[in-house]
Copies of this chain bind each other. A is one copy, B any other.
Amino acid sequence: MSERNKEILVSFIESVWNNGDIHAVNAFLADTYTIYHDPGDPWDKQTLSIDGFKERVRISRAPFPDQNFSIQTLVAEGDLVSMTWLWKGTHTEEILGFEASDKPIEMSGVTLYFFENDRISGHWQVADRLSVYQQLTGNQNQADA
């Protein structure tokens, strides 16, 4: 089961998050998707329907349409898969008050994914949003906060 969940997750990240194939969400998600913990994410603590999740993907990808997650390591046990990842994207649309800059932006994070019967039903995640903030503002002085 764990190996199968890993394969499903790799396919989900590639189709939905890297390629922006919104329709593919139907093939991967459980009936609801809960964001248990994701500080700084606008949907933190929410439980989304499949349509709600699709909207989240659209809105999240819009400022960085060429965005790419590079999976580093997967650890699976039972219904859980933990994924370390690196991310990059070009900032080509406004995000939260930061006008499009065409800057290449990098981020990293670790996400624990929850599965139910071969479907992804939620996550618990921390992303390095301080680095993103520093890259958007050009201010490196807060690196050690």
Contact = CB atoms under 8 A, between A and B. Distances in A.
A90 to B, nearest CB: 17
Q: Is the interface of A mostly helix, strand, loop or mixed?
A: strand
A131 B40 contact: yes
8 contacts: A40-B130, A75-B76, A110-B112, A126-B128, A128-B129, A129-B145, A132-B145, A133-B142
B145 A96 contact: yes
A80 B54 CA distance: 32
Interface in A62-84: 72-73, 75-77, 80-82, 84
Interface of A: 2, 37, 39-40, 42, 72-73, 75-77, 80-82, 84, 96, 98, 108-112, 124-133, 136-137, 142-145
Contact of A108 (B80, B126, B145): B126
A143 to B, nearest CB: 6
Nearest to A137: B145
B110 A39 contact: no
